[in-house]
Structure 1
Amino acid sequence: MPPPCPLNLDQMLTYLPDCSVLPLPCKNLTYTSDFSSFLCGEVDIEVHVSGDCDKCYNRKGGQCQVDGNNTFHCHIGHIEDRQPNLWFGLGIGGLLIGLICCLIIIWRQRKQHNKHKHASSNVQLQSANSDRIVRNTDLESGMAYFGIPIFSYEELENATNNFDHSRELGSGGFGNVYHGKLRDGREVAVKRLYDHNYRRIEQFMNEVNILTRLRHRNLVSLYGCTSRHCRELLLVYEYIPNGTLSYHLHGELANCSLLPWPIRIKIAIETASALAYLHASDTIHRDVKTNNILLKNDFCVKVADFGLSRLFPNDVTHVSTAPQGTAGYVDPEYYYCYQLTNKSDVYSFGVVLIELISSLPAVDITRGKDEINLADLAMNKIQNSALRELVDPCLGFELDSEVRRMIVSVAELAFQCLQRDKELRPSMDEVLRILRRIESGKEEENHVEEVEIHGGVNGISCSGLVLSPSPLSPDSDESILLKSTKSLPPATKARTINVIST
């Protein structure tokens, strides 16, 4: 029987000789025959650890360890082992987020690009590649745009004295033109496009593109412009001091002594030269009129205003557009059939030739009903052998035989240009050659032929056939005016661009 409690250590070892020393508390019993009751006593164990160990375990999540030298260590290897995996995961996640952001940016840029492309396509379609500049949505680089200088709005505002009304040179369908002087001393004409014109950007870029692409002594020079993103669209041209041909013929500057016939035939030749050059460069002016023919002090011609001009590929028969131009100058076939060709410029130039002969405006509502349009008036006078009634008396038609010869020949040429069937009109190259022969006096003697005179709306056919020719006028001493342009050779196969625009 085991001895009563308490037992000392020596006594414990005698009973448990093969075990480690295991001090146990004694149960508060005076005597028991059950030795196991000593092992089931109620025990309170309180363990005190050092501050370092507490910090290692509770704050760092490590394990308190003591090495063989009784030196304390905080072992946190299991956490360190997880750190590389953590950083790798964070890196992969960041890479994916960056990739997604890039894809979103690219998508939005393409969407915006497609939006601009769709918007500009409406302009591009208007005249068969004529507005290819619209695709160049922003070619500005530094201080140049399409190769010409960029002016600030403030600079041009100062040059025109804040667009002073007294500086205004004229106005048109697209804007007002002001006289200005740049800081470098150059005199300029500044065109200020109307804000309410919804097509002003197209007209602005159209004119810039044409005038920077073409060079001819009889085309007005473009010095520069404002940025297309400027609050106002301004074009800066060379200043032509002597006004327009219109002003000299029947406007404020009209004075027959300042514009005798030799100067008028020179103006006709230089204008035809500029238009022939445009046509050779696949460009139709589309607004040929005396208001757009500027005159220098020596009466040298500068053709201006290309806001309505169109590029015209040389492998097409025509471009279908809504008719635009100035009343009295618009080609009737273009007006009725919506078919723009370079012969439309020829018709308009025919009206200019009649203005040079008569000094009358292209449209005058004070004239009779059938004579409001100068073209109709001229065709009627020529057909009825009444050219004398059309010619400006101050030109010396009755007194100078050489002047009379040239005027009769120019009237004949104008008659050909004003044919309602475009196929009967000469090309601008032919017009230029004929004018030069008229001026030199070396006209051909054997080119006189009779011609069917096609007049009136019923004489127009969009297919090129004449429906109702008018009778020939009686023979007279001016019957030479009824010469015709020989039929042009059959056109080679060409494609037609049908684009309806305004």
Structure 2
Amino acid sequence: MMLYLLLLPLLLLTCIFASYVHSMESSTSKCSNIPIPYPFGILGGNPAPAQGFEITCASSGPMVRINNIMFGILNISLLDGFVSILASATSQQCKRNSSFSLEGTNFTFSDTRNKFTALGCDMVAMLLNGSSGYSGGCASFCSTKSNIIDGMCSGVACCQAPVPKGLKKLELEFTNITGQLSRPKEVNNTPTCGEAFIVEQNSYVFSSVDLSNTNRNNPQYRPVVLEWSIDGGYCEEANRFMSYACKENSYCYNSSNGIGYRCNCSLGFQGNPYLQGPDGCQDIDECTIKRPCTHKCINTKGSFYCMCPAGMRGDGLKEGITGLALLLLLLVLIFWTHWLVKKRKLAKIRQRYFMQNGGMLLKQKMFSQGAPLRIFTSSELEKATNSFSDDNIIGRGGFGIVYKGILSNQMVVAIKKAQRVDQNQMEQFINELVILSQVNHKNVVQLLGCCLETELPLLVYEFITNGALFSHLQNTSVLISWEDRLRIAVETASALAYLHLATKEPIIHRDVKSSNILLDENFTAKVSDFGASRPIPHNQTHVTTLVQGTLGYMDPEYFQTSQLTEKSDVYSFGVVLIELLTRQKPISDGRTDDVRNLACHFSMLFYQNQLLEIVDSQVAEEAGTKHVKTVAQLALRCLRSRGEERPRMIEVAIELEALRRLMKQHLVLQTEEDPLLCESGQHADVNIEASSEYEP
């Protein structure tokens, strides 16, 4: 018991000094008043810099050599792992060059402190990701000179998107909205070339002057933030080698970009974790800094303890625990020990389920792939759902039951009971769980974690408050404007395009329908329910699988061949688009046999020039006949019987966003020969965000 009494003050002081220690930075030299902390160092200085971190102190200030090019340094952060430089991280449409590469270095472009920015008219700039396709990008349009507004990068002549995590090379493809190679556009009778670059967040202010060719002849140097790390694998692997960089009184943590590791001083120490000796992590004298004791303070290595005056006892802290509190602590410890004995049998059962449901395999995958999946305990989720009370049930179906839960940090989540895991498909279940946990898109319901300690695995998702799109469409007493419906279509298409293009492996949802599109408090669309989803390796165009889906939404080509492709999702989305136009169910028992299927009935009326008979009257009034016909034509392209004749999801997303922007600007089509707006010169700012959890 005395041991507990001695450890308690140490634990309290650990919390007190945590923020202080992590605010410290150490450096061994300066150049133009900029600290140069090791592993960075000035050539010829002491200590010598680590390989790849050599700094030249020039008359203009510190310079770093990256792939044989010198860049001026603005700032170096030891604890956060960032270095700010002045660089021209730019690629131009006319030159089609890759002007900046970090390959073979210790640096990556920071995804949290930079923005991918593109300048140009009627142009889509897509970041290439080697053989795996696109990793991100954005599009901008120009209709008239008055649309271009200085100081606003809003999609008109200038667009911005997040930088993918772990990006090493700026390599782009410039296209127009129809997917063809983009030609230079004239602005103010001057041909301009598209340009895209990476720049520190909030440091670039758009100006129409930047569109002129004369301004592009000379490289534009802008602040760029690079994230650095120690090369040598993750901490667990690097610790085995002689080159391990973390010195005494420090700890290692894996770099957030998924490449290498960094070091930090342990609690109770401050200094440079990469150095040994007096410049390394040294003990903090808490007694002098904080004066935490009521009587006498004795500093120890990494901590301290307090002594009470003669004849008194306690922890001696100014805000410590009194003798009564220590007695209460003793009672808590006794109760806790009793609880452990009582729960031992239950713990063994949970461990058996954990192993049975692939828990060890999941941990290995999370470690090797850096998946951000959280493994919950069954007791956490029992507490969150009030022991899975019926009052917390928010959904039932063939998949099981969904509960609303509130975690200990007050975060509201949805907890779904998954299907029983077939032991023969254990590895496939775990692989798909890891892949889905790394999906990171604002219009996709985020998988936060899982619990494998129960008989049936429990999946934990973010909670979406406003229910499914299907219920809102079928409740005709609720008015949904066409502007909102079109935005929901754009957000859903963007999410599906992201799943097909920007993830580590293309993911086919396989059950796209309006009841799987949830709406949050702002009516923002969130694609959900990935129970039927399947990843497709990059070297394959399809997978052959047992047919699964929902009647009325299912791709007939997939139904006949069992070959699942990304075009299967395109077909299902086409049905959802028709639902938004008509507010009718995909399969209706109230119709005769030849018109029960909404897709077939809609197509028949369209080609009989009777489209307005099925379109929701509110949509027809708000959108107008030409606009409705354009959306209908896009939906019918998605419903073509041959998958190869359907558009890709990225094309659908861009065309819908262009329609939405044109509608906002009160523009209409000029001729019947322009059904898709692709030739009207009105393009959209479509942001296909890449998952921050994947390496390029």
* TM-score relative to the length of structure 2: 0.42
2:630 is equivalent to residue 405 of structure 1: no
What residue is the counterpart of 2:450 in the other structure? 225
Deviations, residues 317-370 of structure 1 (Å, cap 9, x unaligned): 322222111111110011011221111000000000001011111222222212
Deviations, residues 34-78 of structure 1 (Å, cap 9, x unaligned): xxxxxxxxxxxxxxxxxxxxxxxxxxxxxxxxxxxxxxxxxxxxx
1:208 to 433, 443, 446: 433
What residue is the counterpart of 1:170 in the other structure? 395
**Alignment partner of 2:529: what SS?**
coil
Deviations, residues 174-224 of structure 1 (Å, cap 9, x unaligned): 222111111221111111124598999678635522322221111111222
What residue is the counterpart of 1:322 in the other structure? 546
Name the CA shift for 1:415/1:334 in 2 (closer, same or farther; >3 Å). same
1:260 to 471, 481, 488: 481
Q: Distance in 2 between matches of 1:154 and 1:199?
A: 28
Quote the offset at 1:161 in angstroms: 2.5
What residue is the counterpart of 2:657 in the other structure? 436
1:422 to 640, 643, 647: 643
2:235 is equivalent to residue 235 of structure 1: no
Cα contact 2:361–2:427 (8 A) shared by 1: no
Q: Distance in 2 between matches of 1:246 and 1:332?
A: 22
Alignment map for 1:433-472 (pairs within 5 Å): 433-441=654-662, 448=673
Quote the offset at 1:151 in angstroms: 1.5
Name the CA shift for 1:383/1:320 in 2 (closer, same or farther; >3 Å). same
Cα contact 2:366–2:434 (8 A) shared by 1: no
Quote the offset at 1:172 in angstroms: 3.3
Higher helix residue share: 1
Deviations, residues 236-259 of structure 1 (Å, cap 9, x unaligned): 111100001111111xx55442x1
Cα contact 2:366–2:372 (8 A) shared by 1: no
1:247 to 463, 468, 471: 471
Cα contact 1:193–1:200 (8 A) shared by 2: no
What residue is the counterpart of 2:592 in the other structure? 368
**Alignment partner of 1:316: what SS?**
coil
What residue is the counterpart of 1:390 in the other structure? 614
Quote the offset at 1:311 in angstroms: 1.3
2:372 to 136, 147, 153: 147
2:541 is equivalent to residue 286 of structure 1: no
**Alignment partner of 2:542: what SS?**
strand
Deviations, residues 291-340 of structure 1 (Å, cap 9, x unaligned): 11110111111111112111123332322222111111110011011221
Name the CA shift for 1:393/1:447 in 2 (closer, same or farther; >3 Å). closer
Q: Distance in 2 between matches of 1:189 and 1:204?
A: 20
Cα contact 1:207–1:306 (8 A) shared by 2: no
Rg (Cα) greater in structure: 1
Q: Distance in 2 between matches of 1:313 and 1:207?
A: 12
Letter in structure 1 aligned against 2:538: N
What residue is the counterpart of 2:604 in the other structure? 380
Quote the offset at 1:447 in angstroms: 8.6
Q: Distance in 2 between matches of 1:198 and 1:177?
A: 24
1:355 to 579, 586, 609: 579
Quote the offset at 1:141 in angstroms: 8.0
Consecutive unaligned residues in structure 1, runs of 5 or more: 1-119, 121-132, 450-479, 484-502
Name the CA shift for 1:426/1:275 in 2 (closer, same or farther; >3 Å). same
Cα contact 1:320–1:340 (8 A) shared by 2: yes
Consecutive unaligned residues in structure 2, runs of 5 or more: 1-355, 679-696
Name the CA shift for 1:352/1:423 in 2 (closer, same or farther; >3 Å). same
2:415 is equivalent to residue 187 of structure 1: no
What residue is the counterpart of 1:335 in the other structure? 559
Deviations, residues 81-140 of structure 1 (Å, cap 9, x unaligned): xxxxxxxxxxxxxxxxxxxxxxxxxxxxxxxxxxxxxxx9xxxxxxxxxxxx99946538
**Alignment partner of 1:276: what SS?**
helix
**Alignment partner of 1:178: what SS?**
strand
Letter in structure 2 aligned against 1:270: E
What residue is the counterpart of 1:272 in the other structure? 493
Name the CA shift for 1:344/1:135 in 2 (closer, same or farther; >3 Å). farther
Return the structure number with greater relative CO, CA threshold 8 A, min gap 6. 2
What residue is the counterpart of 1:159 in the other structure? 384
Name the CA shift for 1:304/1:210 in 2 (closer, same or farther; >3 Å). farther
Name the CA shift for 1:146/1:232 in 2 (closer, same or farther; >3 Å). farther
Count the aligned residue pairs.
Answer: 313
2:529 is equivalent to residue 302 of structure 1: no
What residue is the counterpart of 1:47 in the other structure? none
What residue is the counterpart of 1:95 in the other structure? none
* TM-score relative to the length of structure 1: 0.57
Name the CA shift for 1:134/1:429 in 2 (closer, same or farther; >3 Å). farther
Cα contact 1:146–1:208 (8 A) shared by 2: no
Q: Distance in 2 between matches of 1:310 and 1:322?
A: 11
**Alignment partner of 1:317: what SS?**
coil
Cα contact 1:159–1:180 (8 A) shared by 2: yes
Name the CA shift for 1:302/1:287 in 2 (closer, same or farther; >3 Å). same
**Alignment partner of 1:191: what SS?**
strand
Cα contact 1:179–1:188 (8 A) shared by 2: yes
Cα contact 1:134–1:202 (8 A) shared by 2: no
**Alignment partner of 1:364: what SS?**
coil
RMSD: 3.2
Letter in structure 1 aligned against 2:400: G
Q: Distance in 1 between matches of 2:494 and 2:605?
A: 28
Cα contact 2:437–2:449 (8 A) shared by 1: no
Cα contact 1:330–1:347 (8 A) shared by 2: yes
Quote the offset at 1:429 in angstroms: 1.1
What residue is the counterpart of 2:291 in the other structure? none
Cα contact 2:365–2:434 (8 A) shared by 1: no
Q: Distance in 2 between matches of 1:319 and 1:393?
A: 41
Letter in structure 2 aligned against 1:162: S
Higher strand residue share: 2
Quote the offset at 1:391 in angstroms: 1.0
Q: Distance in 2 between matches of 1:299 and 1:137?
A: 34
Quote the offset at 1:158 in angstroms: 2.6
Cα contact 2:366–2:373 (8 A) shared by 1: no
Name the CA shift for 1:157/1:421 in 2 (closer, same or farther; >3 Å). same
What residue is the counterpart of 1:113 in the other structure? none
Cα contact 2:362–2:430 (8 A) shared by 1: no
Letter in structure 2 aligned against 1:420: S
Cα contact 1:194–1:200 (8 A) shared by 2: no
Cα contact 1:174–1:200 (8 A) shared by 2: no
Quote the offset at 1:374 in angstroms: 1.5
Quote the offset at 1:278 in angstroms: 0.6
Q: Distance in 2 between matches of 1:203 and 1:243?
A: 30
